[in-house]
Amino acid sequence: MRLALAACVALFLLLFGCAEGYLVPREQSVMSEVQKCQLKCSMMARSGADMSPGPCVGKVSDDWVCDVAHSPRIPADDLPQNQCAECLNGSAHHFVEVTPECQPIRYA
């Protein structure tokens, strides 16, 4: 009986302990990119940039860009000149979208 209980506990720790180890760093990494985007967006807005058309804020790390959009989206958000060139040319594969007030909308 004790052996069966120990095996169940070991299996539980193996399954859920390992899963947490793989999921948490990825989520922390994404949250870091969101925070970097918000900071970069705030700096751009404070410098006097017009955030209303939904400009690209720029890269926040090697494979991530920060883009301003509207929630709900407006046609200007889909114009290539208001999107990050790195996403359009494939040199960045992930993005964080924030509102013109630098509040997160989504990331992928």
Using CA atoms, how far apart are residues 21 and 3, in angstroms rounded to an integer? 26
- Judge whether 94 and 32 are in contact, CB under 8 Å: no
Q: Is residue 107's pLDDT more than 70?
A: yes
Residue 12 domain flag:
no
72-100 per-position pLDDT tens digit: 999 988 888 888 999 999 999 999 999 99
Residue 13 domain flag:
no
- Judge whether 21 and 27 are in contact, CB under 8 Å: no
- Judge whether 44 and 17 are in contact, CB under 8 Å: no
What is the pLDDT, as a whole number, of residue 14?
38
Using CA atoms, how far apart are residues 95 and 79, in angstroms rounded to an integer? 16
Residue 97 domain flag:
yes
Mean pLDDT, range 47-64, rounded to an integer: 93
Residue 65 domain flag:
yes
Residue 82 domain flag:
yes
Residue 7 domain flag:
no
**In the chain, what are the helix, strand and coil shares in percent, each to the nearest 5?**
50, 20, 30
Residue 4 domain flag:
no
Number of domains present in the structure of the chain: 1
Residue 2 domain flag:
no
The boundaries of the domain holding residue 78 are 23-107
6-53 per-position pLDDT tens digit: 444 443 433 344 333 444 555 666 789 999 999 999 999 999 999 998
